[in-house]
Chain A
Amino acid sequence: MEWLAALGRAGLSFSAGLGRANLLLLASLRGLADLIWRPRLLFEQLYSIGVLTVLIIAVSGVFVGMVLGLQGYYILSRFGAEATLGVMVAASLVRELGPVVTALLFAGRAGSAMAAEIGLMKATEQLSGLEMMAVNPEHRVLTPRLIAGILSMPLLAALFSMLGVYGGWFVGVGLLGVDDGTYWAQMQSQIDWSGDVLNGVYKSLVFGIVCTWIAVFQGYDCDPTAEGVSRATTRTVVHSSLAVLGLDFVLTALMFN
């Protein structure tokens, strides 16, 4: 019976956490009105969350595109279909790898930093200090980060995909001899704007909401100790990664039938 009790406790704890996360999301969204009057707070977070993540996204995008070009060429050339390399690289990136890998990298770089920063603000009583200064910490601290994360993710995913396409072009056209015009022309004719590109954007938007929500919640809800902050950062990366991979399957099934 002990295992049953443990299972029940885990279920209750999960439900309570989910409830707190939802309430926190609602409270943060109520801060949108404040944010309109203080755009500086949003710009600071866009820089911290978005701009500072550009480098890792750009480098990863190029290398993932190069690997796709290499692997794609070897498989497609067996069937004499290397002319479609551009389509394969672009479709893989805009539909799947762009949003998913960007979200995983985002969770590791920006999400963990967000959770640690908010957790440390809690541990050092900065959030309590804001409350006692009659400043709502949910509006002042969480809302700008949440919105900045949601806005940054699609842009970062687009950058990842774009640089990935160039990485694939470098390997396919530059190193392996695929025709330059064919690479781009096939891509242009076969990649659908709404079916491929927009669906990828929607995916990254959903991942942006989920990853940032998890990060701010874990930071805000953590125990105010060194161990608590450490756990919050770990949970941010683990939960975000699992949520992104699970949601990717659901969204893919819904979008591409």
Chain B
Amino acid sequence: MSPKPPPSDTLVRIRGLSFSRGTRLIFDGIDMDIPRGGVTAIMGPSGTGKTTLLKLIGGQLKPDAGSIEVDGQAVHRLAKSALYDLRMRMGMLFQSGALLTDLSVFDNVAFPLREHTRLSPSMIRKLVLLKLEAVGLRGAQGLMPNELSGGMARRVALARAIALDPMMIMYDEPFAGQDPISMGVVVQMIRRLNDAARISSILVSHDVKETSAIADLVYVISDGKVIESGTPQDLAEHGREWTQQFMRGLPDGPVPFHFPAPDLAQDLFGVSA
């Protein structure tokens, strides 16, 4: 029996990925390498398919062409049981939190432990309290999801995502709709969890400032292509004109301020300028 090869430095390897919804092409043959142990951000304007990419990595969607490998396994070719085994090593933080609304905070975090382990109730209780402590919400264990603010719900969802000590966590727009304090908490928490638990993080966002503060590597995607990749500093300083506009939030540039329209004078007065 040959020894198991050492794990590659690349946790997620995407090659020639194409995906479309109906007639709309979302990804057109993109390549990506997401390294182990770091925080990798996928950025781009709204509607470019960032969340779709997470669903493709998690095996919830199948690509039209190309391959997606997670920890050496081709996600899109796995049988359901093997896919579920792989997902037990993945965590995902949904934009809405996706907490089960009929369960309390404690039961939500305990849910994956009860489903996938045979730990005793007392052990589950200890683990849940530790996970909730890590996100600062041990005191909220008895609350129901409808009693939580948006930021708290996302932190509970994060505690649930790390309940099984996954090898990677995918964050879908973790900063969207957060007040400055909650946003600061989540920014810190993602970096701290990544380093403390030695996991890999994939972060999908269009919040440039917050994402740049914690990301080791950034992929910028638009119009179905990877526009550029590199460290946040590289992209901000030496990136292409399009990337510079996106990273600096400039209103006009390669992405025009105006949606294509006929001449204004023609539209207003019916005459050519």
Residues of chain A having any CB pair with chain B under 8 Å: 121, 124-126, 128-136
Q: Contacts A124-B96, A124-B98, A128-B94; is A134 near B85 (CB within 8 Å)?
A: yes
| Chain B neighbourhood of A125, CB < 8 A | 94-96, 98
In the complex, whether B252 has a CB less than 8 A from a CB of chain A is no
As a 0/1 sequence over residues 72 to 99 of chain B, the CB contacts with chain A under 8 angstroms (1 = contact) are: 0000000010001101101110111011
In the complex, whether B264 has a CB less than 8 A from a CB of chain A is no
Min C-beta distance of B110 to chain A, whole Å? 12
What CA separation (Å) do A106 and B98 show in the bound complex? 29
Asked if A126 contacts B98 (CB within 8 A), the reply is yes
Which residues of B103-134 are within 8 A (CB) of A? Answer: 111-112, 115-116
Asked if A126 contacts B84 (CB within 8 A), the reply is no
In the complex, whether B101 has a CB less than 8 A from a CB of chain A is yes
28 chain-A/chain-B pairs, Cβ below 8 angstroms: A121-B101, A124-B96, A124-B98, A124-B101, A125-B94, A125-B95, A126-B98, A126-B100, A128-B55, A128-B60, A128-B94, A128-B98, A129-B94, A129-B98, A129-B157, A131-B60, A131-B87, A132-B91, A133-B111, A133-B112, A134-B84, A134-B85, A134-B112, A134-B116, A135-B111, A135-B112, A136-B80, A136-B84
Asked if A129 contacts B100 (CB within 8 A), the reply is yes
Beyond A131-B58, A132-B60, A134-B85, 20 extra complex contacts between A and B, CB < 8 Å:
A121-B101, A124-B98, A125-B95, A125-B96, A125-B98, A126-B99, A126-B100, A128-B55, A128-B98, A129-B98, A129-B99, A129-B157, A130-B100, A132-B94, A133-B87, A133-B112, A134-B87, A134-B88, A134-B116, A135-B115
Asked if A126 contacts B101 (CB within 8 A), the reply is yes
Min C-beta distance of A114 to chain B, whole Å? 13
Closest B residue, CB atoms, query A44: B102
Asked if B116 contacts A132 (CB within 8 A), the reply is no
Among A125, A128, A129, A130, the one with the most B-chain Cβ atoms within 10 Å of its Cβ is: A129
- The A-B contact count (CB < 8 A) is 50
What CA separation (Å) do A189 and B187 show in the bound complex? 78
Interface of B is mostly: mixed
| Chain A neighbourhood of B80, CB < 8 A | 136
Contact size range, B: 20 to 34
What CA separation (Å) do A132 and B160 show in the bound complex? 11
Closest A residue, CB atoms, query B85: A134
Which residues of B44-73 are within 8 A (CB) of A? Answer: 55, 58, 60
Closest A residue, CB atoms, query B94: A125
Asked if B90 contacts A132 (CB within 8 A), the reply is yes
Min C-beta distance of B188 to chain A, whole Å? 24
Closest A residue, CB atoms, query B84: A134
Min C-beta distance of A196 to chain B, whole Å? 41
What CA separation (Å) do A256 and B87 show in the bound complex? 54
What CA separation (Å) do A126 and B160 show in the bound complex? 13
| Chain A neighbourhood of B88, CB < 8 A | 134
| Chain A neighbourhood of B91, CB < 8 A | 132
What CA separation (Å) do A131 and B80 show in the bound complex? 11
- 4 closest Cβ pairs, A-B complex: A129-B98, A125-B98, A134-B84, A134-B87
